[in-house]
Amino acid sequence: MSEIIDSYIPVAIFLVVALVMPPMTMFMVKQLSPRSRAAGKYTTYESGSVPTGTARIQFNVEYYLYAIAFVLFDVEVLFLYPWVTVYKGHGITSIAIVEMFIFVFILLFGYIYLWKKEALTWVK
Amino acid sequence: MVNFMLLAPEITVVATGLIILLIGVFMSPRTKNVLGYLASLGVLAALVLTIQSFGTVALMFYDTVSIDGLSQFFKLVFLAVALIVSVASIKYNENSDHTEEFYTLVLFATFGMMVVASANDLILLFCAFELASLATFALAGFEKQNAKSLEGAMKYFVIGAVSSALMLFGISFVYGATGTTSIPAIAENAAFLAQSPIGIVAVVLLIAGFGFKMALVPFHMWAPDTYQGSPSVVSSLLAAGSKKMGFVAAFRVFILALPALQVDWQFAFAILAVVTMTFGNVVAVSQTSVKRMLAYSSLAQAGYIAMAFVVMTPMALTGGIFYTLAHAFMKGGAFIATATVVWMITTQRTGNLDVPDHLDSFRGLGKTMPLAALSMTVFVFALAGIPQTAGFMAKLVLFSSAIEAGMAWLAVIAVLNSALSLFYYARLVRYMYFLPPEGKKIGMPFPYAASLLIAVAGVLIMGFWPEPFLQWAMDAAQVLI
């Protein structure tokens, strides 16, 4: 039993360090860093340009559908990379072609579905 | 070369789902009723193909897919539920604009459950588990204008996501200690897992992950709200189908992969089974919503099935597996009968519209809808275990196996629970036959009637002529021993 407890000593050290580090860094930053209270500091961060208008505007929900469809197909392209690396030299060329066609064919169903449900139309 | 014919049921289900999705988007809402018939035909074809493939034993795809008695029996369970649900949904989806999504999700969920039944590798098992879960999350919230449906779906989703994470965490411990995810290989390399504390952690995490799907107490919190809030046809799929997915996954992972830790999980299941059946039955007594009552009764039934893990004799496993099929027909049918009543209340605009499945809605159902009342009576009596029904045969095999194995205490608790359950089942029958009706006699919609008849036929055939089903269940149990 004591062996198990001994093996957790590194974990305990980690825990102590993890608990001490953040307050210590925050304390040091507070001591060392210069402070300015200019008006520009309290405006919305817009990567350097001056913000215009209010932040509380409504986004078109179409945007999310677009984004989700994009991410879906984007991730599915990722599956083509491992396929490419094993395509040649393993004697599975014909099986690999057929399997990838089935995969792309099923994706096509999704694409036609999105299209017919007007998820790709910007303004209905 | 892989023999793809062995996967014919799965391929049929997926192909039907994709075809429905594709042609559904080109149809107008009025003609979409055809999709329901198409889905039912696809499921029926898959069911026939599964029954034909009984007795086949094969390993496929680098030993990740196993076709054996256990997988084929559970595919039968899932396809039977899918058939009942898709036939009844023809009426539920009438004039709906989202018929194709509904059926595609039902079929994909069924496909996921079928792959879980065949999974011989923990990664495949997890992926298929997620496929079925994601499809049912969407189905539970299918009525997006109905706040209760959304509430149920949200609870189901959040608790489901957490339990998936726990399950995956458990799988990672098993993988870490054995160096493989293949189920037979884990059993061979379990020596380190069995003697280190990691084994216990893995068992606890896996029980939590599967227990969520099986709705064992204390992982049941989502079940009553979700079963009550979801559309009744979806509750039928969840209670009768998706719950069995947890059982087949647990059968495969605990009994086949982790026999080295049997003492630990057997003890855990003993506690869970007793607590679940008692809690479910006691709480079901005080419910006024019939769907909620059925939800708690389905907890109790899960407790009975979990006895198979405790007794662990061939007879107990046969009983537990037989019970899953019996429960699929009884509970699936009972939820469809509730769907019929909910349909009656919402179309007639009488009674309690906030809780259309209230016990009062069943007043005099024997007069207003004789077929629905009669089949509901068959289902609840079968759930209580009245002789000559599927539920009786299942309980007989399971409880007597417990006595044979010298666990009389477990059998006594289970029998006492069954007696308690008869109270709330009989109360429902009293409402249907001995209280005066509120409306006039109503014609039964054909899809609901057909679906109820399939379920009644299943319950009665399994009660009067259980031999072939017991034989199949025995073949399935052989895989586990």
Cα–Cα nearest to B91, from B382, B352, B452, B433: B452
B18, B25, B197: residue with CB nearest A117 = B25
What residues pair up with B119 in beta bridges, in sequence order?
B65
For position A95, what pLDDT does the model report? Answer: 85
Question: Does the beta carbon of A112 lie under 8 angstroms from any beta carbon of chain B?
Answer: yes
Query: pLDDT class for A1, splitting at 50, 70, 90?
Result: low
Contacts of B45 (CB under 8 A, 6+ apart): B12
pLDDT digits (tens, 9 = 90+) for B77-101: 999 999 999 999 999 988 888 899 9
pLDDT digits (tens, 9 = 90+) for B460-472: 999 999 999 999 9
For position B2, what pLDDT does the model report? Answer: 66
Higher-pLDDT residue of A63, A18: A18
Is the ipTM higher than 0.90? The answer is: no
Closest chain B residue to A118 measured between Cα atoms? Answer: B25
Closest chain A residue to B18 measured between Cα atoms? Answer: A109
Give me the phi and psi of B119, to 5 degrees please: -65, 130
Contact B25 A4 (CB under 8 A): no
Contacts of B43 (CB under 8 A, 6+ apart): B13, B16, B79, B82, B83, B86, B107, B110
Give me the residues of A, 3-62, that contact B with CB < 8 A. Answer: 4
Beta carbons of B350 and B430 less than 8 angstroms apart: no
Contact A112 B22 (CB under 8 A): yes
Check whether A61 has a pLDDT greater than 80: no
Give me the residues of B, 189-218, that contact A with CB < 8 A. Answer: 197
Question: Does the beta carbon of B2 lie under 8 angstroms from any beta carbon of chain A?
Answer: no
**3-class DSSP state for residue A21?**
helix
Check whether A75 has a pLDDT greater than 80: yes
Question: Does the beta carbon of A79 lie under 8 angstroms from any beta carbon of chain B?
Answer: no
Taking one residue from A and the other from B, the number of pairs with CB-CB distance under 8 angstroms is 13
Closest chain B residue to A108 measured between Cα atoms? Answer: B22
For chain B, give the percent of residues with pLDDT over 70: 100
Beta carbons of B466 and B396 less than 8 angstroms apart: no
Question: pTM for the complete prediction?
Answer: 0.88
For position B339, what pLDDT does the model report? Answer: 93
For position B402, what pLDDT does the model report? Answer: 93
Q: Which residues of chain B have pLDDT under 50?
A: none
Q: Which residues of B touch A109 (CB under 8 A)?
A: 18, 21-22
Query: pLDDT class for A124, splitting at 50, 70, 90?
Result: low
Closest chain B residue to A106 measured between Cα atoms? Answer: B18
Contact A4 B21 (CB under 8 A): no
